């Protein structure tokens, strides 16, 4: 199935994001999580694309295994970082050949330093919309793009953020998935601004449960996500107790998902960090509040 169609349907989608494993231990952790989440019958699962090196091939290998050995529907993330257009064409052909027809098309960040200067490959792309167009002309792909409820760190202002996001959607994106965030109103503002600009691409919120306090600090560093003081206070109040922090992370993510769904979000995309427990608890909580 095309993820674009699933996300556009009235029933909310539930999906999980993983990263390509490193080493035997990483492989085992990932496959344990996949097998534990499989019975929940998520709408799809996605595998991120590394900044470079050997683990890029792992994205293809992992999505192929998911397609052939599980009942799950895989989506591969793909970035333009350090790839010529010819290499991207080749990779796209490879994904099609292994049965992966759903791709999240991304520009990517400079390897090593996410805030460093972006330098396009001399024969490559500068922005994600070019990769969207390439995918759309390469075959029958359902294509997703990234969205940023708190604005992309490189965008000078909100208006240019929306203008570029809408242009990226118009290049052929079928759906969008957001960067993680904590305040539901940021997602609603992005959705409303996109609709006001005449674009109806469904924007699925990305949600990551915080499972330890270190996690909380890393998130702010890596994604630029703003942690509302009220939420930071709740975590700091229990910072000495790892079990309480984890439980609170599940509770806060449940509250966020619940609100997003009641505000009309087309689904929830859970960033799992290759673990299943916290995500399964949130899933259970959501089902007990409102049948989904
Ligand atoms: P773009 O859409 O190209 O946007 C980048 C910047 O350029 C923005 O500021 C935008 O406003 C601006 N811009 C866009 N078009 C134009 C234009 N025509 N002219 C001028 N400015 C323009 N990274 C990975 O490496 N691997 C992953 O697997 C991965 N998965 C992700 C999944 C999700 C759901 C999200 C939200 C992000 C993910 N990222 C991943 C991170 C992403 O690659 C970075 O955030 C990157 O900096 C932006 O990618 P983009 O596709 O949004 O780029």
Query: Cα–Cα distance between 225 and 160 in angstroms, integer?
Result: 19
User: Which structure tokens are listed for 281?
Assistant: 């608890």
Q: Cβ-count burial of 203 within 10 angstroms (0-12 exposed, 13-18 middle, 19+ buried)?
A: buried
In tens, the pLDDT along 151-190 reads: 998 999 999 999 999 999 999 999 999 999 999 999 999 9
The whole-chain average pLDDT of the chain stands at 94
pLDDT at 292 over 70: no
- pLDDT at residue 100 tops 90: yes
Question: Could you tell which of 58, 63, 102, 152 is best to mutate to test the pocket of ligand 1, judged by most ligand atoms within 8 Å of the CB?
Answer: 152
The mean per-residue pLDDT over the stretch 237-248 comes to: 94
Atom of ligand 1 nearest to the CA of 77: 28
> 16 pairs with which residues across the strands?
45, 270
Q: Is 290's pLDDT higher than 70? A: no
Phi-psi region of 201 (alpha: psi -120 to 50; beta: other; left: phi over 0): beta
Is residue 143 within 6 Å of ligand 1 at its C-beta? no
d(CA 273, CA 257): 18
pLDDT computed for residue 106 by the predictor: 98
The string of pLDDT tens digits covering residues 111-126 is 877 778 899 999 999 9
Q: What is the mean pLDDT of residues 83-99?
A: 96
Ligand 1 and 132: CB distance under 6 A: no
User: Of ligand 1's atoms, which has the minimum distance to the CA of residue 78?
Assistant: 28
Is 50 exceeded by the pLDDT of residue 110? yes
Gyration radius from the chain CA atoms: 18
- 241 Cα distance to chain centroid: 29
Task: pLDDT band for 289, please (50, 70, 90 cuts).
Answer: low
pLDDT at residue 102 tops 80: yes
Question: How many Å apart are CA 241 and CA 162, to the nearest integer?
Answer: 41
Least confident of 73-82, 87-96, 212-221, 259-268: 212-221
Q: What is the pLDDT of residues 50-82, one digit of tens each?
A: 877 668 999 999 999 999 999 999 999 999 999
Q: Which two tokens stand for residue 124?
A: 């490559």
Task: In whole angstroms, give the CA distance from residue 43 to residue 4.
Answer: 11
In terms of Cβ atoms closer than 10 Å to its own Cβ (0-12, 13-18, 19+), residue 230 is exposed
Annotated active-site residue 17? The verdict is yes
| 151 in contact with ligand 1, CB cutoff 6 A | no
Task: For residues 98 and 206, give the distance between their C-alpha atoms in angstroms, rounded to a whole number.
Answer: 26
CB atoms within 10 A of CB 163: 14
pTM of the model: 0.97
Describe the crossing of helices 184-196 and 242-262 by its angle, rounded to 10 degrees: 30
Q: How far apart are CA 44 and CA 28, in angstroms?
A: 20
Which residue lies with its CA nearest to atom 17 of ligand 1?
A: 164
């Amino acid at each position: 199935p095309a993820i674009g169609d699933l996300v556009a349907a009235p029933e909310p989608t539930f999906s999980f994001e993983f990263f390509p494993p490193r080493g035997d231990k990483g492989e085992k952790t990932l496959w344990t999580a996949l097998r534990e989440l499989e019975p929940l019958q998520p709408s799809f699962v996605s595998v991120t694309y590394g900044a470079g090196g050997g683990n890029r091939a792992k994205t293809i290998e992992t999505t192929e295994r998911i397609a052939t050995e599980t009942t799950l529907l895989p989506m591969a993330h793909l970035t333009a970082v350090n790839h010529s257009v010819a290499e991207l064409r080749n990779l796209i052909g490879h994904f099609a050949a292994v049965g992966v027809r759903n791709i999240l098309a991304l520009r990517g960040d400079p390897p090593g330093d996410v805030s460093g200067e972006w330098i396009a490959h001399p024969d490559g792309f500068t922005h994600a919309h070019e990769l969207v167009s390439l995918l759309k002309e390469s075959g029958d792909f359902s294509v997703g793009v990234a969205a940023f409820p708190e604005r992309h760190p490189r965008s000078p202002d909100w208006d240019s953020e929306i203008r570029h996001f809408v242009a990226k959607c118009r290049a052929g994106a079928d759906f969008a998935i957001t960067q993680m965030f904590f305040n539901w109103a940021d997602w609603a503002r992005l959705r409303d601004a996109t609709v006001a600009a005449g674009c109806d691409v469904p924007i699925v919120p990305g949600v990551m449960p915080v499972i330890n306090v270190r996690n909380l600090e890393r998130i702010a560093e890596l994604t630029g996500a703003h942690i509302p003081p009220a939420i930071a206070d709740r975590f700091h109040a229990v910072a000495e107790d790892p079990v309480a922090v984890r439980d609170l992370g599940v509770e806060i993510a449940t509250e966020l998902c619940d609100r997003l769904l009641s505000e009309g979000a087309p689904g929830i995309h859970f960033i799992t960090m290759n673990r299943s427990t916290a995500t399964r608890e949130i899933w259970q909580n959501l089902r007990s509040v409102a049948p989904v």
